[in-house]
Structure 1
Amino acid sequence: MSTCTVCHRDLYADELGYQACRPCETRTDMNLRALGGEDGLYARLGSRLAPGSSSGGPSVSGSRTAPLPVRLEPLSLLARGGVVTILQTWLIDWFELLQFRHPRWQGDMQQQCDQVVKALRVNLRWAAEVHPAFAEFALEVGQLRRQCEAQVTGEKRARVIPVACPCGQTLRITLDTAGVRCPGCSEQYGHTEALSLPLAERRAAA
């Protein structure tokens, strides 16, 4: 392994043999840490369940239909199948590869969130070294953090920027893009390289 599977930059000598570079491993650890804890993003989602609790703007009255008693976006992240379930599924996968006993979940959803975040962080170095799907894991954890932050802070999704690969293919990236592969020529770009590409020209409407 000579390139990071997450951001696609060349690995340094002390990173060779790993699936991910240290910056990507560190970023993933920070994303996990941001999700857990009593003041973490997962815990703060509970305060965003009431209609109109989003900071994205005032609630609109006058609708002919009664508003939902809760906001579905944060509820879907809080409930089974959301943040905790996704992280638990990854931990089960890791434990199976490590031939560890199946993890057991205890307590309510917040306690389970904290447990799985801790276990993933403890084993993160191992996963960054040998897990074949570490890039998928890192990107999914980053996406979970952004989804939670959008509900907690009301921030809009990152703006998509069209940039041009030298082969002529248009790539769509954001300021948070860790790396991207051109579907036209298969060239891989890391975070810095992708942001350095020229803006793609807008095609005139037919």
Structure 2
Amino acid sequence: MTSSCGACERDLEHGYLCPGDTLALAERLERLPKLFIELGLYLAPGSRPAGERVSSGPAGSRLPLNDTVLDLRHGGIALVLESWRSDIHSVRGWSEPAITGGLDYRVMHVCRWIGMQLEWIAASYPGAGDLAREVRDLEGNALSIVGAKPDRGRLLGQCVAVDASGVVCGAPIRYRNGDKVLVCSWCSYTYEERDFMTLYQLQPREAEQKEAS
């Protein structure tokens, strides 16, 4: 019995999220904590990105707080991701997780936690497509404030390291010219230069089609 990807509707043999959308979701979860911290720089009234021209006219009242930034920092990103984490716990029959720490820590923690569940999410979670789309929208809203995402190098694929319980890491691994060693930002597994081509060849071809997403 075939199914379709909840994010792009591509046919799947099984599961709820195709490899390409799973990888794209992993990358967005990796970027969101950094974007969240950057958003905090835009909270001060009248704040402007460095280098933006300021009028030489008479000083007036300061600009109001950016409502979009407030929504993303105080209710958007953290609460949305934590609600997804709560639903995943519910579906899997796990107890409700405790929420602790400041907002920056909460976003980092929940992004990492969801990232570690991606193999199960793609294969077994009916809400996988909605999760992928909502995370994509959160990143898009954040980028509309802080600017376009930087060049992060060439995507080789997902980390294939396996932990003690048999779970594959799945974090995105990228190569930049001159790199001799690549270290996974999630599990710290190290890939030597001789491993690069093998790692790339092991990846599903759908990942290449998602590189521009």
TM-score (norm: length of structure 2)? 0.61
Whether 1:35 aligns to 2:65 is no
Summarize the Cα distance change of 1:61–1:95 in structure 2 as closer, same or farther, 3 Å threshold: farther
Secondary structure of 2:4 counterpart = coil
Whether 1:114 aligns to 2:108 is yes
Unaligned segments of structure 1, at least 5 residues: 156-191, 193-206
Secondary structure of 2:39 counterpart = helix
Whether 1:75 aligns to 2:76 is no
Q: Which amino acid aligns with 2:72?
A: L
Please tell me whether the aligned partners of residues 52 and 58 of structure 1 are also in contact (alpha carbons under 8 angstroms): no
Rounded to whole Å, the distance in 2 between the matches of 1:117 and 1:93 is: 14
Q: CA deviation at 1:55?
A: 7.5
C-alpha deviations, 1:24-81, integer Å up to 9, x for none? 0000111111002xxx101111112232515896567989x844452222121111x2
Q: How many percent identity over aligned positions?
A: 26
Summarize the Cα distance change of 1:67–1:128 in structure 2 as closer, same or farther, 3 Å threshold: same
Which of 76, 84, 93 is equivalent to 1:99?
93
Rounded to whole Å, the distance in 2 between the matches of 1:137 and 1:62 is: 47
Please tell me whether the aligned partners of residues 41 and 152 of structure 1 are also in contact (alpha carbons under 8 angstroms): yes
C-alpha deviations, 1:136-185, integer Å up to 9, x for none? 11000001011111111179xxxxxxxxxxxxxxxxxxxxxxxxxxxxxx
Q: Which runs of 4+ in 1 moved over 4 A?
A: 54-63
Q: CA deviation at 1:4?
A: 1.5
Q: Give the match for residue 2 of structure 1.
A: 3
Rounded to whole Å, the distance in 2 between the matches of 1:57 and 1:119 is: 37
Secondary structure of 1:105 counterpart = coil
Unaligned segments of structure 2, at least 5 residues: 150-208
Q: Give the match for residue 128 of structure 1.
A: 122
Q: CA deviation at 1:21?
A: 0.6
Rounded to whole Å, the distance in 2 between the matches of 1:143 and 1:116 is: 17
Please tell me whether the aligned partners of residues 54 and 151 of structure 1 are also in contact (alpha carbons under 8 angstroms): no
Rounded to whole Å, the distance in 2 between the matches of 1:61 and 1:109 is: 36
Q: Give the match for residue 202 of structure 1.
A: none
TM-score (norm: length of structure 1)? 0.63
Rounded to whole Å, the distance in 2 between the matches of 1:7 and 1:83 is: 22
